[in-house]
Structure formats: structure tokens, C-alpha cells
Amino acid sequence: MKKKWLIGSIALVMILSLFLAACGGKKDDAEKDGDGASDGKPVDGGKLTVAETAAFVGKFNPIHWEDETDKDVVYNVYDELWTEDKNMNYVPRLAEKWEIASDGKAMTIYLRKDAKWHDGKPVTADDLIFTYEQIASPEYTGVRFSSVDIIKGAKQKHDKKADKISGISKVDDHTVKLEFEKRLADPLAKVFRVPMPKHIFEKIDPKNMANHEATRSKVVGNGPFKVKEAKPNEYVILEKNKDYYRKGKPHLDQVVFKVISQDVAVGALKKGEVDIYPKIPGRDFDKLKKDKKLVTGEEQDLAYNYLGLDHNSPKFKDKRVRQALVYATDRQGIIKAVSKGHGYLINQHITKLSWAYNPKLENAYPYDPNKAKQLLTEAGYKDTNGDGFVEDPQGKPFSIQLHYPSDSANSAKTVPIIKENWKKAGIKADIPQPREWKTFLELLDQGKLETFLMAWGLDPDPDPTEVWRSNAEFNKLHYKNPESDKLIAEQAVEMDKNKRKEILAKWTEVINEDVPQIFLNGRTIMGAWHKKVKGVDWDYRAVVGTLADWWVTDAK
């Protein structure tokens, strides 16, 4: 439930947060780089204005939010049971501790006793159970069921065969035991972890929950901030929760999320209309870095760009051809030209920030058009008619269509570079008209795109099951590999982190050898803020759940 998978964003959010965010891993000079650790003693009070480049939808509800902007509010108003820190280690929040059964099929969650809802009522086991029951309810209209259906009996409730989820039991007022359908490698990553207040929502018809004022404006959370005023198309104002259970936090009295057009945000930041601009596109970031009034931060994000290959197409049957395509692609050149250097090479479906990242693949497939030519020759692809492009082994013309969605300026710049790169290795590529986002997805669903330039947003948990299993719904590559499937299944139930890491390393190596898709580049997340803003330890989380640690020096 952490980072929203980018494929699921609406097109607008996609334009803003998905494709323009392609960027690079260089460190700034230490003085200007955002590192909250050296900012001194926090000051309480003051106001912080945050630029949001997409409007809020206004569903400030842990089980109903869908957009990144709404998430920024939800995760500062509601706390999680546990959360991932900068290095993706679990940190307790509403749960003070947890125990996982040795067979990985159950866990017990111990809630803190001092956490309170914004109206003063304590956060209890009943709230957590109520939240799970709501999500499993057949009347639920949101999209979170997949993080509850792992609990025994949740599916039965969803299918109206039971009134209650059988796998949940209340041990006492602050302790909940969950039983799972099957053994989970890391239940903490899979279980839904943002409780909502039972005493508020039990009175509301689940069908109307998403548009009820308890979701829209009168939000009762338990996090460091409360919603003071919400005008989703223009701004959302949060105010300090004075009774927050983490003593001494938050420091800020008020946080204003101001919706502002991406074209105006840079000017507004310079002028001081906003204090921080998270998620800056690369082209604007370089300009802001030169501004002496500002501090900038650039860190690895969880998203990466790739060129998908449809394995149902006979063109990509031969592994050597796929390998040749990667060797023929100047990926570093694309980072330089398209992302203005804000990005890094990536060769696996695991973020570099994760404990499971396989460093051995760091330098796989360097740009080498000659190697590409050699592999193509081996596979029987030769230029028989002397036009500079190879023909397939049967002597027929060979060319690849590069599909991309029209909403993305960066994709439009990437595709011609790939075409030129491939030309040097004798591979012909065509660039058809780009398609509008939803049209593109529809064609992708129907398997009508032989290649597709897209992006994945990764989860802190490295489990590749939902994307890479041969029969996974999101395996749009139609990639089938029994060896990969076997490793994926093994890691999904391996509770020993070190063993799981080994299995995942093997899996990434299998994928790296087999080249089911062309990994292009990982992205960085860039932010800039005024010097008065302190305590910002910039990383992939941006403002999601991090605002409680920040303060401003001009607090009154």
C-alpha cells in the first residue's frame, strides 16, 4: 500500500508524477543537499506551504483514496500500523509491536494504548477489525480488497458467504490476531495497515462512504495533523494535532497544500508563494539548483522506465535478438538527453533502495552496437538486401514498432533515440502515432502493442508475483518462464530474509539473462525548498508521512 503503482494513476496524475519524473542520481554539493540530520534543534510553530501540481480528488479516507495528491493528505492525517523509513526498514507507529507465527500463517498486532483519534477517542482493536471488515464488505466501492483478501475468510465475506472475516480475532482491546490463507514471506508488507475510526464510520452506509463529509472535510484521523479546511481543487489546510501520541511532534502549526499549475510552480517557489516544491521535473530542477535561496534534494525514486516486449510476437522469440536490442540501446545516452542526467541505469525489477537489490547486475548490458550485431548474426539475422537493416532468418524484412502513450513528453523524446540507436546495430524501428493514455492501455490489454514504453512504480517489498508470474494479470509482456515462476513462488513463502534475498538474486539473474523487457532507467525524485524549512531528510517518500519531522525557522 505504500507507493501507488504508477500504471494505476489517472492520466493527469500520470503526466505529472509518472513520466515527467524521469531523472538522475548525482549528489549535490553536501552543503546544499537536503539532509535533515544537520539542521539543529527543531522549533515549534509556523506554517509551511507545499506545492501540489495536480488537484486533489478529495477522498481523504484510508480505504478510498486513489490519487497521489490525496495520499499526501491521508498519510499525514492518518497513521499506519508500521511504516517504512528512509532505508525501507519497518518502524512501529500505531502498532507498538507485532509477532509473526513461525509458519508465517498468522500474526498478532499489538496496538499502542496512548494513540487517540482526533476527537479524543482511543484507537482500539475494534477500529482495526472494523477497517478490515469494511474493505471485505461486498458493498465496499474502493480498490483495497487485495490487501485484505490474504486474511482467512475475507473472500467468503466479499462473496456474501459469511458475515464476518473468520481469520480475525480480537485478543483484547489493543490486540488483534490475523490468520492468513497461506504462508506469507513478509506479512508486514501485505497486510492493510491504516485503521479508520469505527465510531465515525459505522453509522455511514458503505456505499456513501466515499462522498461522506467524514471522508471529504470533517476527517477524523489519528495522525500528526488534522484537516482544517479542504477545497480540493485549490488547497487543503492541515493543522497540528496537539494530542499526537508521538510526543514533541509535529513541529508545524499549519501545513497548506496549494494546488498550482506545473508551469507556474517554479516561479511560485522562487517568489515564496510556496515553501517547498516536491516532485519537480528534471528540466525545472536544474534551474532551481542554481538558486541560492533554495535547498534541493535528489534521491532515487521507486519508479523505473522500460520498453516492454510482447512475447506473443514471433519477433521476440529468440533470446539473442532480445539481448541484441538491449546492447543496441544507449541507455546512458537516453538518461542524458531525455532526463537531463536525472536518472540511473537499472537492470532489475527491484529498487536500488531495497535490501533485495542485486548489485551484481549493476553494469549488465553496456551500450555495444557491435555486440548487438554479432548476436543478431548468430541468430541468423543478416542484411541480405544491402539496405543497412537486417532481415529475419527467412530473409523477410524485420522491423519493430515502438509504441508509446501521447501524454508523455519524455516518451516522445525517448523513442526517436532508441530508433537511431538501433539503426546503428542494423535494426529497423518504426514509430507509429502515439496513443492517448486510456486508448493505449486498452490496446495493451488486448495484446495489440508489440512493444510499449511504460513505467513501473515499485513497492518497498520486492515480491514480483503480481507482475512477473507467467499467468499474472499484469504480465503484459506475456512472458512465460518456468524457472522464473519457480523462484517467484519460492521467495513468496520464504520467511528468512537472507534466503529470500538469495532466491530473489537468482531470479533477477534469470531475468537479466533472458531479457523479457528492456530496462531503461530508474528515476530520481527531486524537491526544492526554502532555507527556512528544516528537518527535511529528502527521499522517495517526499511528503508522504514525513511532515511531522519538519519545522520552519520563522515560526512565531
Partner 1 sequence: MVKFIIRRLLGMIPVLFVISVLLFTLVQSVPGDAFTGDLNPKIDKKYIDEMREKFGLNKSPVEQYFIWLKNFAQGEFGISFKNKLPVSDLIVDRIGNTVFLAVTTLIITYLLAIPIGIYSANRPYTLSDNTITTFSFIGLSLPTFFGALLAIYIFSINLEWFPSSGTVTAGAGYTGIQYLLDRLHHVLLPAVTLAILSVASYTRYIRSSVLDVKQQDYVRTAYAKGLPRKKVMRKHVLRNALMPLITFFGLDLGGLFAGAVLTETVFTWPGLGRLIFESTVNRDYPVMMTCYMLIAISILIGNLIADILYAKADPRVRYD
Strands 175-179 and 106-111: what pairing? antiparallel
Judged by CB under 8 A, which of 18, 20, 34, 59 binds partner 1? Answer: 59
Stretch touching partner 1 by CB under 8 A, among 50-58, 76-84, 483-491, 543-551: 50-58
Partner residues linked to 240 by β-bridges: 225
Q: Does 470 bind partner 1 (CB under 8 A)?
A: no
Which helix (H) or strand (E) segment is 98 a member of? strand 95-100
Which helix (H) or strand (E) segment is 458 a member of? none
The site map against partner 1 for 202-231 (x = CB under 8 A) is --------xx----------------xx-x
Q: Which H, E and C letters describe 509-554, residue by residue?
A: HHHHHHCCEEEEEEEEEEEEEECCEECCCCCCCCCCCCHHHCEECC
Residue type, 66: E
Q: CA-to-CA distance for 287 and 30, rounded, in angstroms?
A: 18
Judged by CB under 8 A, which of 89, 146, 312, 385 binds partner 1? Answer: 146
- Angle at which helix 319-327 crosses helix 369-378, to 10 degrees, equals 170
Q: Does 162 bind partner 1 (CB under 8 A)?
A: no
Q: Does 91 bind partner 1 (CB under 8 A)?
A: no
Q: Which three cell numbers stand for residue 463?
A: 515480491
Judged by CB under 8 A, which of 27, 102, 120, 233 binds partner 1? Answer: 233
Q: CA-to-CA distance for 533 and 321, rounded, in angstroms?
A: 51
Nearer Cβ to partner 1, position 101 or 268?
268
Nearer Cβ to partner 1, position 213 or 430?
213
Q: Which three cell numbers stand for residue 290?
A: 542554481
Nearer Cβ to partner 1, position 190 or 352?
190
Q: CA-to-CA distance for 279 and 285, rounded, in angstroms?
A: 9
Which helix (H) or strand (E) segment is 102 a member of? none
**Least separation, in Å, of the C-beta of 13 and partner 1?**
10
Q: Does 72 bind partner 1 (CB under 8 A)?
A: no
Stretch touching partner 1 by CB under 8 A, among 57-65, 94-102, 117-125, 314-322: 57-65
Judged by CB under 8 A, which of 74, 194, 237, 543 binds partner 1? Answer: 237
Whether 434 and 412 have beta carbons less than 8 Å apart is answered as yes
Nearer Cβ to partner 1, position 421 or 475?
475
Partner residues linked to 248 by β-bridges: none
Stretch touching partner 1 by CB under 8 A, among 142-150, 177-185, 393-401, 494-502: 142-150
Nearer Cβ to partner 1, position 29 or 473?
473
**Least separation, in Å, of the C-beta of 530 and partner 1?**
16
Q: Which three cell numbers stand for residue 388?
A: 543497412
Task: Find where cell 513462488 sits.
Answer: 489
What is the sign of the dihedral through the CA atoms of 17, 21, 26 and 27?
A: negative
Nearer Cβ to partner 1, position 61 or 241?
61
**Least separation, in Å, of the C-beta of 150 and partner 1?**
11
In the three-class reduction of DSSP (H, G, I as helix; E, B as strand; rest coil), residue 5 is classed as coil
Using CB atoms within 10 A of its CB, is residue 2 exposed (0-12), middle (13-18) or buried (19+)? buried
For the beta carbon of residue 59, count every other beta carbon within 10 angstroms: 22
**Least separation, in Å, of the C-beta of 154 and partner 1?**
12
Q: Does 337 bind partner 1 (CB under 8 A)?
A: no
Judged by CB under 8 A, which of 91, 143, 171, 489 binds partner 1? Answer: 143
- Using CB under 8 A as the binding rule, the residues of this chain from 402 to 461 that contact partner 1 are 437-439, 441-443, 445
Q: CA-to-CA distance for 279 and 306, rounded, in angstroms?
A: 20
Task: Find where cell 501524454 sits.
Answer: 407
- Using CB under 8 A as the binding rule, the residues of this chain from 243 to 272 that contact partner 1 are 254, 256, 258-261, 263-264, 267-268, 270-271
Report H helices in 144-281.
Answer: 154-158, 187-190, 198-201, 213-216, 262-271
Nearer Cβ to partner 1, position 230 or 515?
230
Stretch touching partner 1 by CB under 8 A, among 7-15, 299-307, 368-376, 389-397: 7-15
**Least separation, in Å, of the C-beta of 477 and partner 1?**
13
Q: CA-to-CA distance for 126 and 312, rounded, in angstroms?
A: 49
Q: Does 273 bind partner 1 (CB under 8 A)?
A: yes
Stretch touching partner 1 by CB under 8 A, among 79-87, 160-168, 174-182, 471-479: 471-479
Q: Does 151 bind partner 1 (CB under 8 A)?
A: no
Spatial neighbors of 483 by CB under 8 A, at least 6 apart, are 510
**Least separation, in Å, of the C-beta of 237 and partner 1?**
5
Judged by CB under 8 A, which of 66, 96, 291, 537 binds partner 1? Answer: 66
Whether 122 and 116 have beta carbons less than 8 Å apart is answered as yes
**Least separation, in Å, of the C-beta of 522 and partner 1?**
18
Size of the site for partner 1 (CB under 8 A): 55
Q: CA-to-CA distance for 424 and 388, rounded, in angstroms?
A: 9
Judged by CB under 8 A, which of 16, 20, 48, 55 binds partner 1? Answer: 55
Spatial neighbors of 382 by CB under 8 A, at least 6 apart, are 376, 390, 391
Partner residues linked to 177 by β-bridges: 108, 169
**Least separation, in Å, of the C-beta of 455 and partner 1?**
13
Judged by CB under 8 A, which of 16, 22, 50, 57 binds partner 1? Answer: 57
Partner residues linked to 308 by β-bridges: 452, 517
Nearer Cβ to partner 1, position 472 or 510?
472
Radius of gyration of the chain (CA): 25
Site for partner 1, rule CB under 8 A = 1, 4-5, 7-8, 10-12, 49, 55, 57-59, 64, 66, 141, 143, 145-147, 149, 210-211, 228-229, 231, 233-235, 237, 254, 256, 258-261, 263-264, 267-268, 270-271, 273, 437-439, 441-443, 445, 466-467, 472-474
